[in-house]
Structure 1
């Protein structure tokens, strides 16, 4: 399955029609297989591309292959077969000098910040410039504006131990931007942060993307991160892309079981209800169903009509109105009898009205 990540609708046609910033073609990555070690396939036939100027997300559970995939982009790992192309350059064919040049064009931010505790915020941001041999005057002229950009102009002299988690991540972002990269990789960069700080970091990434035209490729296990910031998403499971497309469409109408599972984890359901969900119904159980409202169905009184169709048996358990990649989107989680006759009437109603639905499972 291929992910062709288009840039935002507001992007210029020239950018939208340009060659992808990143492309994977039939990429396989295996580990082991030598000295009697068992062979493990981490990535199995990956095909997708990320358009210039876009924010794209790769989402999957732990062990799905996300980190391996992103390490192929900056040459920290080499594909067993297939090609990884960044800005027109095949990564696997680069020499050590070529890899160093590539890494100056590819910034990276990490889950645990990876700041040097003995260096101030200013000095942490300056580090890649020092390594590149930039003179002190040029470093000073570069680092100050970067700290201002991430909202830390007044924290230049602070050490990591004096900064909050969100501030540390902002330093990490400024450091990643120091060499004027064309591509920014985010490896679970918000998973160690609280929800409020996560949103502030994601807002910063969106602003950097818009103001600098920087392509952003982020990996995460959190659907909330993807729907907040990414225009397109690929879902990875067991080393394969199992679903991909516009974030709005994938979120509204998930096709693969892995996507549905990741989505269910982001729904605002009480813990006691989540823990009681079953895959198959027993006698007397109730179906737990997610109703999705967008486009033509967004302003129709379909919930009331569903209640009229099925009777007072319908319970509303959760609901939200939000934006996904800038588009309005509403969802309700309802329950009603899992009796086959009731389920059949509901399905007929959904087919007649065009309402998108998903059975999350069954509860007693």
Structure 2
């Protein structure tokens, strides 16, 4: 096994590293090969919650299945806690899977087993004796808030309760890494929020690294400190969630985030915007507030700088990965003098802006 130097501090060692990973399916006989992943390189930091977002078919599920060896890379390396997954024989893969818990979109509970016995299943498979199983499972059911449901069967539980049982089962073998495959997609918004709070608690209190895949931007915005955007098998953007969400660089990221972040203009306004101003037009500009600008009265100062003919069209206050974020859409005259003074003001204050277009 290719292990990292044991004298390195945990913070200096990634939990998961993808190195130029490609995964192809098919390609036998007359069937052309399908490339699900194409040269993926990224790092999942130890102790962090990392989200992978992308549209259906982008390669998210394939990527996460490489981590616990359910799929094997066609080329490249997947390294989990210093061990190259592709080099492991079957006994080594079994050991790895005990260190990597997984929760699923549709819970995957056994209907014939109680909540307690579903959580106990991986421990029974590992050969643990019944007393040790009881000592492990009972605290896990308490941790997920279902200590009083241990004797209930899945049919007697709500969707959120089933997912909590799934999370407890994933924690039963005391893993270092928790994988989440669209774990909230089948849940209503209120239940989703409670599950995300539970995952944040587990990450904080147990120091567990969490890698989650989702197409729900709200999930990543709420829980992940790091995010990677995948499109057609490639990582097109990667970094701190706040940085990626507030200043997306790739068109796919901007498209995915368009309905999730910032103030939105009504369609009747946005549909008539032009890219160049005509005489008498107004500029529509999104003002973005975060960091040092989040708590300063910059809108009032803008009015003082360019004059009172400033209209506020839309606004939103949000939080991304625990950091404050706000945006306003304003309009003002698009004459050269006003545009110059506004541009000077933005440069002097460091206020981030986006020109949305021009209209009457």
For 2:201, the equivalent position in structure 1 comes to 207
- The answer to whether the Cα contact below 8 Å between 1:223 and 1:262 also exists between their aligned partners in 2 is yes
3-state DSSP class of the match of 1:320?
A: strand
Counterpart in 1 of 2:325?
A: 330
3-state SS in 2 of match to 1:298: helix
How big is the shift at 1:317?
1.1
Are 2:110 and 1:116 equivalent residues in the alignment? Answer: yes
Contact 1:235 1:243 in 2 (8 A): yes
Partner of 1:7: none
1:318 partnered with 2:315:
yes
Pairing 1:354–2:350 present: yes
Other structure's SS at 2:136 match: helix
Q: 1:27 to 1:118 in 2, by over 3 A?
A: same
1:75 maps to: 69
Matches within 5 A, 1:16-35: 16-17=11-12, 19-35=13-29
Contact residue 230 and residue 325 of structure 1 kept, 8 A: yes
CA distance in 1, matches of 2:77, 2:87: 9
Comparing 228-237 with 164-173, greater Cα deviation is found at 228-237
Q: 1:166 to 1:300 in 2, by over 3 A?
A: same
Greater displacement, 91-100 / 283-292: 283-292
Partner Cα distance (2:29, 2:313) in 1:
58
The 1:307–1:166 alpha-carbon spacing in structure 2 relative to 1, beyond 3 Å, is farther
Change (3 A) 1:270 1:300: closer
- C-alpha displacement of 1:202: 1.2
Of the candidates 20, 35, 40, which is equivalent to residue 46 of structure 1?
Answer: 40
Report the alpha carbon displacement of residue 43 of structure 1 after superposing the two structures with TM.
Answer: 1.2
**Of 301, 304, 311, which aligns to 1:305?**
301
Partner of residue 186, structure 2: 192
Q: In 1, distance between residues paired with 2:273 and 2:236? A: 20
Inter-partner Cα distance in structure 2 for 1:314 and 1:197: 39
CA distance in 2, matches of 1:198, 1:275: 33
Q: Distance in 2 between matches of 1:311 and 1:105?
A: 61
Task: Spell out, residue by residue over 1:253-288, the C-alpha distance to the aligned partner (whole angstroms, 9 max, x if none).
Answer: 222222222222213767963996589648888766
TM (norm. structure 2) is 0.87
Partner-residue secondary structure (3-state), 2:155? helix
* Cα contact 2:309–2:332 (8 A) shared by 1: no
What 5-or-longer segments of structure 1 have no aligned partner?
1-12
- SS where residue 266 of structure 1 aligns? coil
CA contact (8 A) 2:284 2:332 kept: no
The 2-side partners of 1:52 and 1:325 are apart by 17
Structure 1 residue 326: deviation in Å? 2.8
Partner of 1:4: none
**Partners in 2 of 1:338 and 1:264 — Cα distance?**
26
Trace 1:1-364 onto structure 2 (pairs within 5 A): 14-17=9-12, 19-267=13-261, 273=267, 281=275, 289-308=285-304, 309=306, 311-322=308-319, 324-327=320-323, 329-336=324-331, 341=336, 346-359=342-355
1:299 deviates by 2.3
Q: Once the 2 structures are TM-superposed, how far is the Cα of residue 109 of structure 1 from its aligned partner?
A: 0.6
* Paired residue total: 349
Q: In structure 2, list runs of 5 or more residues that go unmatched.
A: 1-7
Structure-1-length-normalised TM-score: 0.86
Two-structure CA RMSD over aligned residues (Å): 2.8
CA contact (8 A) 1:293 1:355 kept: yes
Distance 1:132 1:35, change over 3 A: same
Q: Mark the structure with the bigger radius of gyration.
A: 2
